[in-house]
Amino acid sequence: MAKFVHSMIRVLDEARSVDFYGRAFNLKVADRLDFENFTLIYLSNHENTFELELTVNKGQDGPYALGNGYGHSAFVVDDVDAEHARFEEAGFSPRKLVDFEHDGRKLARFFFVQDPDGYQIEVIQKQGRYR
């Protein structure tokens, strides 16, 4: 059996990213490991054991090229409409809310938001397969 424990993204500004993920998704620093050439910051919350690992490469002075291979990460929330309004109020510039259907029934209600480094994040209403 394998357990998925974290996903890593490279970020330019530790403080800006920790602030964004804290305010947007209530992720807090669970651990911070400083090395000579890079720093690893593990973020988590009480909702699950999965962590987001932020890697800050020392000496990186410009944005990372995300390329065309990155898709997105996703968070489920109890009230996607309220979260969309909260994100707007916080200045996170969420994209529009979408009702996504499959075979004539609503599969999901969601919106996307971009983090400070350009990573796309889907925020999904908790329902059906998205729990």
- Along the chain (131 residues), what's the average pLDDT of each consecutive run of 10 residues? 92 98 98 98 94 97 89 95 98 97 93 97 94 88
Rounded distance between C-alpha atoms, residue 111 and residue 83, angstroms = 10
Token pair belonging to 22: 């804290």
Strands of the sheet containing 120-125, edge to edge, are: 73-77, 120-125, 105-114, 98-102
Residues 35 and 84 in one domain: no
Q: Which CATH number covers residue 23?
A: 3.10.180.10
Q: Determine the pLDDT at residue 70.
A: 81
Structural domain containing residue 34: 1-59
Q: Determine the pLDDT at residue 48.
A: 87
Question: In this structure, is residue 3 part of a structural domain?
Answer: yes
Q: Would you call 122 a catalytic residue per the annotation?
A: yes
CB atoms within 10 A of CB 115: 19
Q: How many helices (H) and strands (E) does the chain have?
A: 2, 8
Token pair belonging to 38: 């890079």
